[in-house]
Homo-oligomer: A and B are copies of this chain.
Amino acid sequence: MATARRATDKRRLILDAAIRVFARRGFHHCRVSDVADEAGVAYGLVYHYFNSKEEILNTLFLERWQIMLDAIAEIDSHPELPAREKLYRVASFIIDSYRHDPDLMKVIIVEVTRSAHSFGAAHLETIQEAYAGIARIVERGREEGSFKSDIPAEFAAMCFYGAIEQLLSGWIFDLLNEKEEEFERAKGLVVEAICGGLESAPAGATAVSG
């Protein structure tokens, strides 16, 4: 199996190199040879493991997105948790994903999630599943009475996800500080902003969780 092992390693090597190269130069602005060079591998080998440049990006996206979908489903599978806590965990997961592998998240967001042409369109349904997962959490919050019923769950989910993606964009574009504490702080703040709202509660009704 030593052979099989090594073959797998090279494939992984190429994928990891692609993450770095795509993150650095962007999918459209880099050459397949850049990926091969970064991986320390011959040009042709890339085409031994992948049918096209696009397939590399598709692989990276699907691999990672599925992990996120599973995480969201797992978080929502605890009936005892309040909706706000669930959303906090979702925000945590996404922000930690960025913290742990910023290049990969950058590639996924910039090249797929936010790219209406080619990749965004191709993976539209997969992307939507994340919104749907978040919407399910909000829906439960509505059912249990902790969330308002006049904001549709799907709508709330898009606002929540949009806010988080904007934060990630802030880090990606270097508009936000990437210090460790900032990540932790952002988790709490984004949940407070979306769940608690920006307005101060006149009658002193702002709930604080955590």
Binding site for B on A (CB under 8 A): 25-26, 28-29, 84, 106, 110, 114-118, 120-121, 124, 128, 131, 138, 141, 145-152, 155-156, 158-167, 169-170, 172-173, 175-176, 186, 189-190, 192-208
Contact = CB atoms under 8 A, between A and B. Distances in A.
A166 B167 contact: no
18 contacts: A26-B118, A110-B117, A116-B173, A141-B198, A148-B206, A151-B198, A158-B167, A159-B163, A160-B198, A162-B163, A165-B166, A194-B197, A195-B197, A195-B198, A196-B197, A199-B207, A202-B207, A206-B207
Contacts of A28: 28, 117
Contacts of A159: 163, 166-167, 190, 193-194
A205 B195 CA distance: 14
A155 B197 contact: no
Contacts of A199: 84, 141, 146-148, 195-197, 207
A162 B155 contact: no
A97 to B, nearest CB: 17
Closest 9 CB pairs of A and B: A162-B166, A197-B197, A26-B117, A204-B207, A114-B114, A159-B163, A201-B205, A205-B207, A162-B162
Given A162-B164, A205-B207, 15 more contacts: A110-B116, A110-B117, A114-B169, A115-B115, A141-B199, A148-B200, A152-B189, A155-B190, A165-B166, A193-B197, A194-B197, A195-B197, A203-B203, A205-B205, A206-B206
A128 B205 CA distance: 33
A194 B193 contact: yes
A125 to B, nearest CB: 10
Contacts of A189: 151-152, 155
Contacts of A194: 159, 193-194, 197-198
